[in-house]
Amino acid sequence: MCPEKSNLKTAIWNYLESRPRIVRWREWLSGRRYRLASVPDRSRPLYVIAYRVRDKGRAAEVGRALELDWVEVPAQCREYYDEILFRAPQLVVIQLHRTNVCGCLGHRHAAVSEAPFAMPHDAFGGEQAGEMDIACEQILTWQALPLSDTALDAKFLQGSRLEEFHAKQFRLRVLSIILHETNHVVFPNEPETSIRERSLNFYREALADYTEKAVATLSFTLDRSFSRLE
C-alpha cells in the first residue's frame, strides 16, 4: 500500500477516536462499526465500510474483495476503472445493508448520510466524501449471468469445490457492484447502460479468468489421483 493511504487510514482512526466519548459510546451501543479497505495498487479511494455488528463477517468479505481479489483480477479488467478510481473522492463510504426495500443491489447517494463523514474534514483531506449503499444478501442471490453461472456451477460440482467457488463468485460480484457505484459517484451523468456494461464486463471476465485457472488446477489434481490408482 502506498504510504499516503496508510497515513490517511491512521488519520481517520485518530479522527474517529477524537470525537466526544458520549458520541462514540452511542455509536458502539447502536452496533455501528467501521472497517477501512482499499485496492492496493491505486492511490484512491479509501473505502469506509459502515456496517452493523451482526454483519461483521460480510464486512470482512467486502474488505477481502477489495484488498485481495482485486489484484487477482486480470490487468485489462482493472484498467476499465483507471480513470474512475483516479478521479474518485479520497474517501467513499459503503453502507452495508442486507437488503434494499426497492430490490436494487446498490445505489449512489447524492449526499453522505454517515454522520462522521458527512462534512469535509481535515482528516480526509478536506474533500467531500462519496457514499453508496450495497445490499449484500441480494448480491448473494443475484443472477448476474444466468446461463453461464449455471454452467460454471456444474463444472465445480464435479470437483466438490463448489463452496469455494461460490464464495469467490460472491466477492467478485460485490467488487463489480462497488466499482459500478463508484463509477456513478465519479461520473453522475454517465448513462446507466454504459456504467452497467463496464461493470458486467468486469465481472464476466474476472469470473471467466478465475474459473479457467481453478479448473486447470482441479483437473491437474484429478489426473494425479488417477495416476496414483494405476
CA–CA separation, 27 and 21 (whole Å): 10
Least distance in Å: CB of 77 to Zn ion? 18
Comparing CB distances to Zn ion, the nearer of 102 and 147 is: 102
What are the backbone angles phi and psi of residue 99, rounded to the nearest 5°? Answer: -140, 160
One-letter identity of residue 129: A
Comparing CB distances to Zn ion, the nearer of 22 and 102 is: 102
The cell numbers describing 10, all together, are: 491512521
Least distance in Å: CB of 10 to Zn ion? 33
Contact 184, 203 (CB under 8 A): no
Contact 61, 170 (CB under 8 A): yes
Please count the residues of the chain: 230
Q: Detail the DSSP E strand segments found in 82-197.
A: 91-97, 106-109, 130-135
CA–CA separation, 174 and 60 (whole Å): 12
Query: Site residues (CB under 5 A) for Zn ion?
Result: 102, 104, 192
Comparing CB distances to Zn ion, the nearer of 160 and 193 is: 193
Least distance in Å: CB of 203 to Zn ion? 13
Least distance in Å: CB of 104 to Zn ion? 3
Least distance in Å: CB of 45 to Zn ion? 18
Comparing CB distances to Zn ion, the nearer of 143 and 225 is: 143
Comparing CB distances to Zn ion, the nearer of 182 and 211 is: 182
